[in-house]
Structure 1
């Protein structure tokens, strides 16, 4: 082996060690980055050179940067976040309904209705009593006032829900657009190569994580690294393309989620959007 070959092996070893340190520094710098997957450099021996005395090694080679990623676990996380998104919305709406009806205190609707019935009972027992009739009138007015207050609060809550539906659809469309863009970038980086676009894949997983809370979906990845995301059996994201959801409003105040011109309300499953539609 020549002196030049020895120096070359040493140089490659130093460059490989530097690459390993760079990957370690990248891991440390992103320790608090949401959705970041730890990376590790994969080393292998350089192809040996044939000599008269046999094959002589040529040192070390940095083959690729490996991303520590569990596809099965990530899929389960997406599914659980879809359930979490739905339950969080319904829990919040139930709390608001409880506050509107105010059943935990004496001024709630049930209490007002009970007092109204009691007043009727007293009037039926003493029909000639002006005082009892006055009490009945007062309780009736209080009950009507409570009913109007509940109606106003419910109307306001429904309006808030519909606004939230509109905002959620906009978020879904925005995430779909970003995921399609990352699909294109990932496919370009990985085309014809064993290299992986690790950081871009982390970004895409992070976006899909956000999407999970908004709407239930299924997905698969093709051989080029692009994902297809299906919402209600419709392709929200298909490779580098995406389809936007839209809204239509009904006369009763409810809304429809449209894929093109098709109403997909009944096809939605889990996530914030489905919960909002259930509540409305």
Structure 2
């Protein structure tokens, strides 16, 4: 009898000791990121049959498990990815929104001041101070164009830095996951699959959440306990103990445009979710369109003002010079050609009119021998078809560029996307040949009639004329459209960010309810297990006394 009681009591001591150790571990890790509360699972030992019935033989520690819900954990991971996507998009978009819509950093006040100066010259065309003010305001306007373009370039550098940082962190997480796979497989094998290495599994879930902050991530469980991890639209990041390598590479046609490579393959278009996608979306949906629109406005303003200014005469009776100089901005070209050796070279050509200027175009090869092309405006989705080499050159020049092909063969189906305005705002300046306010062509004839302001009035009228977008928009309206587009996307991102933040907090709260450590609950468990341990120890003492009594009786 004493031995039976002793064995049962000792099993209780062991079970309650494990429970106390596990509870202590929970309390110690209350602030550990990613830790899941653990609990001891127990089961009664097989009872023993006696002539008077079955007698229990104590308790066994079956397993130590973590409080874990796969569905809720997956919800936290997807919410994390969605939130960090919209958060990074909003953070970057709001910067453009602030600089374009602000009364001091935006372009609208500078354009207003410039045309006010033109009005002043029209009101007093012989006034040298008024003419000098116009030159000063023109210089300020071009500087504002340059400054905005520079700021856009700085934001692009920031995006590239963010991408580089994110990829470095993802590569580190992937390597750590591959190493964890090896350890988890070994530990599960050591326990013959009956017990799980809880701490290692928590570390793996935490790494998956860290990756989810950077990019959308999914995984599949393997029979040996390891996982295969995929990002974006199913690109493999970790396969067992092998981690892939992400890297950043400049586009072949634009050193500032970065592409994301996975083991050397471009996956930029396959990325979704997380900070990576938020940065890419901002670049492609907000930054690039805004910079192109700004450049198109610079081209349109310079083209129309030059044309009108050159139609007049200055105070010396000389024909007006081109007032603005667009310089030689680099034309952005993105080829999609079958022949890798084919080189498309585009150069800037000052357009003769602003009516058909837009942000982006596409040249499609529709035939060879002889060559045939289609030129499409990607903004309005209008096309000029049936062009040959000569008519393509004429049509392209009207839009601000020329293009030549070399080094390879054109193939039907090849396309080339171009943006002649992409860098135009950065090169705009006042014509350096205009060094004297007398050179402002305010008159409409060379006769030198005092007070002739006909051409100055024509220049002032340019402010409100709808000369751009096929006669549908003025210069001010083009810029207002830029501000409105950026503002609407920023506002939508703000609303979405708030919603995703709420969803993430709800998912995190649900996970904490299931897996988090509650100190009050653990303190209560500590007392319960302590008392149970003391009771089991008392049973051991009683069993010892009974055993001693039995031995004494035999003697």
Normalising by the residue count of structure 2, what TM-score does the alignment of the two structures yield? 0.48
Q: Deviations over 1:245-268 (max 9, x none)?
A: 122112421111112232111110
Q: Deviations over 1:39-90 (max 9, x none)?
A: 1111110122344555432101111112111110111111111111111211
CA distance in 1, matches of 2:241, 2:104: 58
| Cα shift at 1:230 | 1.0
Q: Deviations over 1:184-211 (max 9, x none)?
A: 2112212222211111111111111111
Match of 2:111 among 110, 113, 123: 113
CA distance in 1, matches of 2:264, 2:105: 47
* Greater relative contact order (CA < 8 Å, ≥ 6 in sequence): 2
CA distance in 1, matches of 2:50, 2:193: 31
SS in 1 for 2:182: helix
Please say if 1:262 is aligned against 2:260: no
Asked if structure 1 preserves the Cα contact closer than 8 Å seen for 2:174 and 2:238, the reply is yes
CA distance in 2, matches of 1:210, 1:91: 20
Q: 1:7 is matched with which residue?
A: 6
Q: Deviations over 1:205-255 (max 9, x none)?
A: 111111101011222222332221112321101122211112211242111
Q: Which runs of 5+ in 2 are unaligned?
A: 284-555
| Cα shift at 1:132 | 2.6
Q: Deviations over 1:12-32 (max 9, x none)?
A: 101111110111111111111
Q: Deviations over 1:142-192 (max 9, x none)?
A: 111222222222222222221221111111111011111112211221222
SS in 2 for 1:42: strand
Please say if 1:62 is aligned against 2:61: yes
Identify which range, 73-82 or 104-113, moves more after superposition. Answer: 104-113
Please say if 1:206 is aligned against 2:206: yes
Q: 1:225 to 1:84 in 2, by over 3 A?
A: same
| Cα shift at 1:107 | 4.9
CA distance in 2, matches of 1:104, 1:157: 17
Identify which range, 212-221 or 263-272, moves more after superposition. Answer: 212-221
Following superposition of structure 1 onto structure 2, how do residues 35-114 of structure 1 map, counting pairs within 5 Å? Answer: 35-101=34-100, 103-114=101-112
Q: 1:90 to 1:107 in 2, by over 3 A?
A: closer
SS in 2 for 1:254: strand
Q: 2:22 is matched with which residue?
A: 23
Please say if 1:224 is aligned against 2:224: yes
Q: Max radius of gyration: which structure? A: 2
CA RMSD, 1 decimal:
1.8
Q: 1:130 is matched with which residue?
A: 128
Identify which range, 141-150 or 209-218, moves more after superposition. Answer: 141-150
CA distance in 2, matches of 1:106, 1:193: 67
CA distance in 1, matches of 2:270, 2:123: 57
SS in 1 for 2:57: coil
Match of 2:172 among 161, 170, 174: 174
Normalising by the residue count of structure 1, what TM-score does the alignment of the two structures yield? 0.92
Q: Which runs of 5+ in 1 are unaligned?
A: none
CA distance in 1, matches of 2:105, 2:250: 35
Q: 1:249 is matched with which residue?
A: 250
